[in-house]
Structure 1
Amino acid sequence: MAPQKQIILITGASSGIGLVTTASLISTPTNHVIMGVRNLAKGEKCLKDLQSQRPQGTLSLLELDVTNDDSISAAINQISMDFGRIDSLINNAGIAEGGKHPTRAELRNLFEINVFGPTILTNSLIPLLQNSPAPKVINVSSERGSIHNCANPAESKYGDGGLPAYRVTKAALNMLTVTQYKELKSFGCKVWCYCPGFVISNLGGAELQPMRKQMGAEDPQTSADGIVEILQGKRDSEVGMFIGRAGEQIRW
């Protein structure tokens, strides 16, 4: 009998770390990745490209705007009908914007995507996670959300205090991870907070990619490799922790 497919939902799957992670995950034939995307046209193009590059993988596309409750409800209904469960949820969708003094509108937008979205989506998916024999949740955060490192800049290259609004939302996401870990372990769900590192991505806008590269940003494949390791069970000893792509633990 063929092994059961692992059903993996990743948000923000049509660009950057999300797209590279999707490509890595479907290299394993026993994975089925649901690409959660806000822009269906862009998502369809990515889906076709991935299917041509990795024909052994199985993929499906799902319109999912984590800032919209109706979109979340429709997406969950579709997953329930198609698969009946979720084995792994990767809350990857996120943005970085706002200067030294962010506006109210910028703050609201950041919190909607970086905090409210993962909160509502994960809570809504609990019944489908409960249907999995080994459910997992990965919240893609950032070391910039570490309160310790921001308060002790000599201990971290990200301790300069820049991007204050982004930092605040990632600190909130880190706390969300801790509360989810405590709640969801009641049915065996493992939860991690994961920093993908400084890589070339669309975070902050695609126009910043050349500057990121000049600043030493690495290939997003390194971030994807870390997520794959978690899903393969290689970091089970660090469940409930804030971890990085290179095997390190990060202080909250």
Structure 2
Amino acid sequence: KHLLICISANSGIGFELAAQLLADPSNIVLLCSRSVEKGEAAVKDLESRSLPGSVELLQLDVSEEESINLAVKEVERRHGRLDALVNNAGIPSPRGVTLLQALQTAFQVNASGPAAMVEAFAPLLKKSTGTPRIVNVTSGAGSITLRLDATTPTYSQKTVPYRASKSALNMITACQSVEYGPLGWKVFLYCPGFTQSNLSSLNKAENGAKPTSEGARPIVAILRGDRDAEHGGYLKDKGQWPW
């Protein structure tokens, strides 16, 4: 069986991704949640759907190094390996705090966390029986090229902490691709686009956000190997964003 790990999978795109992956009986999904209570509710929901794949709860907070290390030990104890890692934890620009505090918080979750996750789980990914794959979920808001283009619809949106942390994630992913690509690993950035989620109050259907199913489906294709020729790229549903 393929072993897949999803971060922040108790809601939004992560939860929908878990559901779609469980449609394949060969998949084991480790559903990661900072809150055990919310994670257990999500696992129960998925199990009630009688999907052919297997789902397990893994308590994990990507902003805490100790939590990450404990999760790695738990996965090693249960399975001894990992085949794919999806980093989709993310927060918007924090409000009601200083810029410095907002930057520190956004970077901790959106950039530092995914970097620490890959480093910590790398030994288990090396034990994969197939092609190890890493998918870091980013945003077009992290594109420096688009930020400087006054014709883009989001040009007037400042959101400095969010933009900067996603740009940092993009560079981190590029570095991961350079480091692990020669080993045969496939490393990707993926932007799901404006999708319904709890990322912010704006991510609603009435504001034009697409269903979470549409945001998650391309990640399933990436994990299946359908876009391996684009590894190292800044992917979106169709094509790529400029860096």
TM range (shorter): over 0.9
Comparing 157-166 and 142-151, the one that deviates more:
157-166
Distance (whole Å) between structure 2 residues aligned to residue 57 and residue 102 of structure 1: 45
Instruction: Note closer, same or farther for the CA distance 1:65–1:234 as it changes in structure 2 (3 Å cut).
Output: same
Identity among equivalent pairs (%): 36
Query: 1:7-34 deviations in whole A, cap 9, x for unaligned?
Result: 0111111111101111011011111000
Q: Which residue of 2 aligns with 1:126?
A: 122
Matched, 1:18 2:14: yes
- Pairs aligned (count): 242
Q: Deviations over 1:135-173 (max 9, x none)?
A: 00000000010000010132x333334312100000000
Note if 1:84 corresponds to 2:80: yes
Flag structure 2 segments of 5+ consecutive residues without an equivalent.
none
1:41 corresponds in structure 2 to 37
CA distance in 1, matches of 2:90, 2:104: 13
Separation in 2, partners of 1:233, 1:190: 9
> What is aligned with 2:140?
143
SS at match of 2:164: helix
Preserved contact between residue 146 and residue 242 of structure 2 (Cα < 8 Å): yes
Cα distance in 2 between the residues matched to 1:158 and 1:241: 22
CA distance, structure 2, for counterparts of residue 14 and residue 87 of structure 1: 21
**1:82-136, CA deviations, whole angstroms, 9 ceiling, x for partnerless residues?**
1111101000011002369953222211111111100111001111111112100
Are the aligned partners of 1:51 and 1:57 in contact in 2 as well (CA < 8 Å)?
A: no
- What is the TM-score normalised by the length of structure 2? 0.95
Counterpart-to-counterpart distance in 2, 1:202 and 1:225: 18
The 8 Å contact of residues 149 and 158 in structure 1, kept in 2 or not, is answered as no
SS of 2:204's equivalent?
helix
Alignment partners' CA distance in 1, 2:86 and 2:98: 28
Contact 1:137 1:190 in 2 (8 A): yes
Secondary structure of 2:48 counterpart: helix
Alpha-carbon contact 1:35-1:62 (below 8 Å) kept = yes
Matches within 5 A, 1:173-212: 173-204=169-200, 208=201, 212=204
Question: Equivalents in 1 of 2:55, 2:224: separation in Å?
Answer: 19
Would the aligned equivalents of 2:88 and 2:137 in 1 still touch at CA under 8 Å? yes
Distance in 2 separating the partners of 1:23 and 1:171: 29
Deviation at 1:81, TM superposition (A): 1.0
Q: CA RMSD in A?
A: 1.6
Alignment of 1:99-248 (within 5 A): 103-132=99-128, 133-154=130-151, 156-204=152-200, 208=201, 212-245=204-237, 247-248=238-239
Report the secondary structure of 1:89's partner residue. Answer: strand
**Amino acid corresponding to residue 59 of structure 1 in structure 2:** V
2:240 to 232, 249, 252: 249
Q: Kindly provide the amino acid, as one letter, of the partner of residue 20 in structure 2.
A: S
- Give the whole-Å Cα distance in 2 for the aligned partners of 1:84 and 1:11: 19
Tell me if structure 2 keeps the 8 A contact 1:35–1:61: yes
Q: CA deviation at 1:234?
A: 1.2
Whole-angstrom distance in 1 between the partners of 2:22 and 2:150:
38
Contact 1:14 1:46 in 2 (8 A): yes
| 1:43-65: CA deviation from partner (whole Å, max 9, x where unpaired) | 00110010111331200000000
Is the 1:7–1:33 Cα contact (8 Å) retained in structure 2? Answer: yes
Counterpart for residue 74 of structure 1: 70
